Amino acid sequence: MVATDDVPVIQLGVEDAAAGLVLSTEAHWNQTEEDWRVFLHQGIVFGIRNGSQLVATAALLPYSGENAWISMVLVTASQRRRGFATRLVDACLEAARKRGLTSWLDATPDGAAVYGPLGFTPTLQLRRLRLEKSGQALAPAPSAAPRDALCERDRRAAGFDRTALLSAFAQRPGSRIISTKGAIALIRDGRTARHIGPLFANDAADALALVDAIARSENGPILLDAVASQDAFLAGLTTAGWTIERPFQRMRFGPATAAGEEVPFAVAGPEFG
């Protein structure tokens, strides 16, 4: 591995949103430029440049209750195997340590093999699923639900407050908060597919009914990051034609914080928790 200690780690600003999008697009991720602005407005994003080109990033997104999410760990293909990702994750961990925050992340299997030796502890597992759709929507959108109802359910599940994040999502063109039969979810635009999550329900049948209602009202591909322990929900999705794209392992660095009162059926995304 090439020594890179002389390459400075810098903190990025809002003006770097478009450059960040170039990196996540190269990796075939679903983030939009608006997602990057969330990290740059609400969090701390570290980066490395090669001349004027942004070649690597990692973000720390603080939440309430002494929690923070690490994500957007990206290195352009020509600059990999130089230790950039490790340096940037270390910068995020140091920023979290100074603020007294427990750090969380959702890792791919390859990422989990790297983060484990750094001191991250596995917690729950996720499964990313995709539904391919084309053509006209078959039904109208389900009933709209108030943002406060989603934020309250999210607080109960996460154990901490993410009102700022969910509000940023809800305010975007194309975003909808919808509910039916006691289930509630947010659906928003992504770069290549719409994304459902977070999604909360009293049971798997209600969660599946809401997903079906959403899917019938959409006319393009949809992604969803399901909690793997929700077995009946996962089974129902695959029976309905959703395909599992990849697993994620949720991991924690630091002491455990307040636990949520319920387990969601789908999360806001591996980049947001």
The reported pLDDT for the residue numbered 258 is 78
Instruction: Considering the chain, tell me which residue range(s) the CATH 3.40.630.30 domain(s) occupy.
Output: 10-100
Does residue 182 carry a pLDDT above 50? yes
Alpha-carbon gap, residue 114 to 182, rounded angstroms: 40
pLDDT tens-digit profile of 183-201?
Answer: 999 999 999 999 999 999 9
Q: Locate the DSSP E strands across the chain.
A: 10-11, 44-50, 53-63, 67-75, 102-107, 121-131, 176-180, 183-188, 194-200, 222-227, 243-253
| Amino acid in position 126 | L
Mean pLDDT of the chain: 94
For 82, residues 6+ apart whose C-beta sits below 8 A from its C-beta are: 1, 2, 4, 75
Residues of the chain above pLDDT 70, percent: 96
The sign of the torsion formed by the CA atoms of 159, 163, 164, 167 equals positive
If phi over 0 gives left and psi between -120 and 50 gives alpha, with beta otherwise, what is residue 224? Answer: beta
**Would you tell me which CATH number, out of the four given (3.10.150.10, 3.30.1310.10, 3.40.50.2000, 3.40.630.90), belongs to the domain 127-253?**
3.40.630.90
Averaged pLDDT for residues 218-229: 96
Residue 96 CA to residue 179 CA, distance in Å, equals 35
The confidence score (pLDDT) of residue 3 equals 46
Tens of pLDDT, residue by residue over 248-260, are 999 999 998 878 8
* Cβ atoms of 200 and 262 closer than 8 Å: yes
For residue 152 the two structure tokens come to: 């309250």
Of 143 and 72, more confident: 72
pLDDT score at 259: 81
CATH of domain 10-100: 3.40.630.30
**Tell me, what's the pLDDT at 143?**
74
| This model's pTM is above 0.85 | yes
